[in-house]
Structure 1
Amino acid sequence: MNYLNYNRFADTPDQNASTNLDQDLRSSRSDKYAKSEPEVKAWLFKVLKLPQSRVDEYNSYNLDLMDILKDGELLCKLGLLLDLQNNPCSKYKNSKMPFVQMENISFYLKACELIGVPHDEIFQTVDLFEAKDPYQVIVTMISFSRRANENNKINFANVLGPKKAKVKPPVPKKPLRLSK
């Protein structure tokens, strides 16, 4: 094999060139979203104590989480369950106007920051409003549920996602030959 040839990898049969890395990542995140969405919806309905008629309405229209949360109203109601002074979610409005809906989402995101959700786990408003990155909304909801549970165990009794590790794994000892 000639290693100076630029086409040396052209004959590899196990590479799938029909997709690129961006498409693969988008596909992976959408798969993770589809897997986590029912759990997040059930948690949201349970925490907000929505009447069964409203839950049935959401289910009858086959609305996914992005459609349910798009106006920011349920997010702000979720934020109001927190015990915060000057809670930004108290300013939310029910409206069909896009800029008001986006403002409601931003109120929720401010509440997430106030309770200590890490900045890298918080979605951007367009991630939800325009469904740019639905899985990032799931990540924020999971992190929010953990922090809200620490803040108020009465209103947020359940936590989404995997359990947080309480014990750090042991650090392996150096071999004797390296410890000198």
Structure 2
Amino acid sequence: MSLERAVRAKIASKRDLAMDKEAQTWVENILEWKFPAGQEYEEVLKDGQVLCKLMNKLAPGSIPKINESGGQFKMMENINNFQKAIKDYGVADVDVFQTVDLWEKKDIATVTNTLFALGRQTYKHPEWTGPNLGPKPADECKRDFTEEQLKAGQTVIGLQAGQNKGATQAGQNIGAGRKILLGK
């Protein structure tokens, strides 16, 4: 098996078809439009048009121009515009797929994960009343401590501090192996 094939097989094994289907259903519900029958999930998303329309539903006007024709650079521009718009919407950089992951179908699992990150972000936008995707993110749990409580915490030695009772470096050969010389 060639290295490229092995890499593709490993990436494909990360893919969860149930998550793909859940993301597809979410997109279809928001756009009130069904993916064409017989066409694969990644093929429908590949040119970025559906993604841009999705983003414009979530945040109207966030992508003013969607390229519907043109060469591959125009279609990849759609994907880039989607990526910029979701970052502006609040999706973290680490949750955004690379353009080639979708365009060249290198890692569709990351594309789905990006859609889930976008779906979670909708919870933080009260203006969005449509369906959400994925679990609701936890709210901040802010705590206020008094000065007295903070000072009391300074006297406690944490368990991470540990102890070194009986610890020595005996038996450690750092970097050098043991040399045994036999005399004649």
- The answer to whether the superposition gives a TM-score over 0.5 is yes
Which residue in 1 is equivalent to 2:47?
71
What's the counterpart of residue 43 of structure 1?
26
Cα distance in 2, alignment partners of residues 23 and 127 from structure 1? 11
Counterpart Cα distance in 2 of 1:124 and 1:74: 17
Q: Distance in 2 between matches of 1:69 and 1:101?
A: 10
Residue 134 (structure 1) aligned with residue 98 (structure 2): no
Give, in whole Å, the separation in 1 of the partners of 2:30 and 2:11. 30
Q: TM-score, normalised by structure 1?
A: 0.67
Residue 182 of structure 2: aligned partner:
none
Q: In the aligned structure 2, how far is the partner of 1:27 from the partner of 1:131?
A: 10
**For the residues of structure 1 that align with 2:44 and 2:126, how far apart are their CA atoms?**
24
State which of 133, 157, 164 in structure 1 corresponds to 2:137.
164
Partners of 2:28 and 2:54 in 1: how far apart? 10
Q: Where does residue 98 of structure 1 map in the other structure?
A: 72
Q: 1 CA distance for matches of 2:8 and 2:44?
A: 26
5+ residue gaps, structure 2, are 1-5, 142-157, 163-184
Q: Which one of the candidate residues 57, 72, 75 is aligned to 1:81?
A: 57
Structure-2 change in CA distance of 1:82 and 1:39 (3 Å): closer
Distance 2:31 2:136 in 1: 22
Flag the 1:83–1:26 CA change in 2: closer, same or farther, 3 A: closer
TM-score normalized with structure 2 length: 0.65
- Decide whether the 8 Å contact of 1:36 with 1:138 is kept in 2: yes
Shift of 1:149: 3.6
Distance in 1, matches of 2:9 and 2:78, equals: 32
Q: What RMSD, in angstroms, separates the aligned Cα atoms of the two structures? A: 3.0
AA at the equivalent of 1:26: I
- Alignment partner, residue 3 of structure 1: none
Letter paired with 1:78: L
Alpha-carbon offset, residue 23 of structure 1: 6.7
Q: Percent identity, aligned pairs only?
A: 29
Which structure has the larger Rg over C-alpha atoms? Answer: 2
CA contact (8 A) 1:69 1:75 kept: yes
Q: 2:13 aligns to what?
A: 28
- Counterpart-to-counterpart distance in 2, 1:76 and 1:116: 16
- Show structure 1 runs of 5+ residues with no match: 1-20, 169-173
CA distance in 2, matches of 1:136, 1:83: 22
Q: 1:72 to 1:38 in 2, by over 3 A?
A: same
Matched residues in 2 for 1:40 and 1:137: separation?
10
